[in-house]
Amino acid sequence: MIARGKTREQFIEEIKVLNTRIAQLKESRASVKKLKAELKKVKDALKTQTWGLKKTNENIKLLYKELETKNRELQRLDDLKSDFVATVSHELRTPLTIIQEGVALISDRILGDVNEKQVSILSQVLENIARLTRIIDGLLDISKLEAGEMELKRSSVDTAKFIKKIVEDFQSKAKEKKIVLETSLSKKVSRIYADSDKLIQILTNLVSNSLKFTPVNGKITVRADDDADGSVMISVSDTGVGMSGGDVSKLFNKFQQFDRVHGPGEKGTGLGLSISKKIVELHGGRIWAESKIKKGSTFCFTIPKRRMPKTGK
């Protein structure tokens, strides 16, 4: 029977449309099924991945714990080593002083006559005792600095005056080597807030290094000026033997000495720069070096002008 009001052609047309819709629906159902299967696959893969991640996380946690234990153990060993070095250094000092006094008594002929050959040997002995004393003092300084036990006695220091004084103290040594030792200080250089004894130790080491590693007729300049970040920058430049880039990067490590110069004057210990670095950093400053072989070196360090708000020191 044909529906009312519709022609046969219309009816056939509607059935065709319906058939197409049914076919489309079938297709959609098939793709939904496919999608569902894919979704399941993805879900399974995710499950596996989550499980893997969980395992990795657990492993990381385990490794972290292991690392922490190893770190603590290393710290303990490091403390033990520092204690050992401090104690041994301290214990070595007294007998060394007694040896030095005894040798000096003999060498000065207070205990009786000594021939020239003996005096010459005794003077070598005294030189080595002095070097050993410097090494021990250096080690004691390093142990104190590493254990955080070095106290700074800070006050306001007149930068220009302090530099001029040290440079003056070195003038006669410079003249002996025909080296020009001069200062170049900015008129407006500020005062710094620092431990003056420790500052002397740093600058003395830098100037004496420059004197040691600069040949006859060279030049050493000590400069000071305010820098941009609230500090004063002090530098020591020389026209000396210089160093390679590789050596510069190792300069501030303990016992680093490159191409030792066997000439007159005090033999070094290789501790001066590592002590200087620690002292500068304790003040809240930085220290670095630039150098070119056979051209010379420049050592710079900064010291804050005022006490630092962060540490309150």
Ligand X SMILES: Nc1ncnc2c1ncn2[C@@H]1O[C@H](COP(=O)(O)OP(=O)(O)O)[C@@H](O)[C@H]1O
Pick one of ligand X, Mg ion, none as the site partner of residue 218 (Cβ within 5 to 8 A by kind): none
The answer to whether residue 209 forms part of the interface with Mg ion (CB under 5 A) is: yes
Rounded-to-integer distance, Cα 199 and Cα 201, Å: 5
List phi, psi (to 5°) of 161: -65, -45
CB-nearer residue toward ligand X: 191 or 258 = 258
Rounded-to-integer distance, Cα 221 and Cα 24, Å: 92
Binding residue for Mg ion, selected from 107, 143, 159, 205, defined by CB under 5 A: 205
CB-nearer residue toward ligand X: 190 or 239 = 239
Residues contacting ligand X: total by CB under 6 A: 20
Kindly state the smallest distance separating residue 243's Cβ from ligand X, in Å. Answer: 5
Residues in 265-304 at the binding interface with Mg ion, rule: CB under 5 A: 272
Kindly state the smallest distance separating residue 138's Cβ from ligand X, in Å. Answer: 8
Q: How buried is 1 (Cβ within 10 angstroms: 0-12 exposed, 13-18 middle, 19+ buried)?
A: exposed
Residues in 235-264 at the binding interface with ligand X, rule: CB under 6 A: 238, 240-243, 251, 256-258
The answer to whether residue 273 forms part of the interface with ligand X (CB under 6 A) is: yes
Helices assigned H by DSSP within 191-244? 196-212
CB-nearer residue toward ligand X: 243 or 305 = 243
Choose the stretch contacting ligand X; rule: CB under 6 A; options: 19-27, 165-173, 184-192, 267-275: 267-275
CB-nearer residue toward ligand X: 268 or 284 = 268
Pick one of ligand X, Mg ion, none as the site partner of residue 199 (Cβ within 5 to 8 A by kind): none
Residues in 280-299 at the binding interface with ligand X, rule: CB under 6 A: 297
Q: Backbone dihedral region of 69: left (phi > 0), alpha (psi from -120 to 50 degrees) or beta?
A: alpha
Binding residue for ligand X, selected from 89, 205, 231, 235, defined by CB under 6 A: 205
CB-nearer residue toward ligand X: 87 or 244 = 244
The residues, any chain, with a CB within 8 Å of residue 139's CB and separated by 6 or more, are: 85, 86, 89, 271
Range 103-138 burial, b when 16+ CB lie within 10 A, else e: beeebeeeeeeeeeeeeeebeeeeeebeebebbbeb
The answer to whether residue 166 forms part of the interface with ligand X (CB under 6 A) is: no
Count Cα atoms within 13 angstroms, Cβ side, for 177. 22
Rounded-to-integer distance, Cα 124 and Cα 103, Å: 11
Kindly state the smallest distance separating residue 99's Cβ from ligand X, in Å. Answer: 22
Kindly state the smallest distance separating residue 241's Cβ from ligand X, in Å. Answer: 5
The residues, any chain, with a CB within 8 Å of residue 123's CB and separated by 6 or more, are: 107
Rounded-to-integer distance, Cα 249 and Cα 252, Å: 8
Q: Which two tokens stand for residue 31?
A: 């793709």
Choose the stretch contacting ligand X; rule: CB under 6 A; options: 67-75, 79-87, 102-110, 207-215: 207-215
CB-nearer residue toward Mg ion: 189 or 287 = 287
In the bound state, the residue with its beta carbon closest to ligand X is 268
CB-nearer residue toward ligand X: 195 or 238 = 238
Beta strand extents in 90-206 (DSSP E only): 155-157, 180-185, 192-194
Q: Backbone dihedral region of 301: left (phi > 0), alpha (psi from -120 to 50 degrees) or beta?
A: beta
Contacts to ligand X by CB under 6 A = 205, 209-210, 213, 238, 240-243, 251, 256-258, 268-273, 297
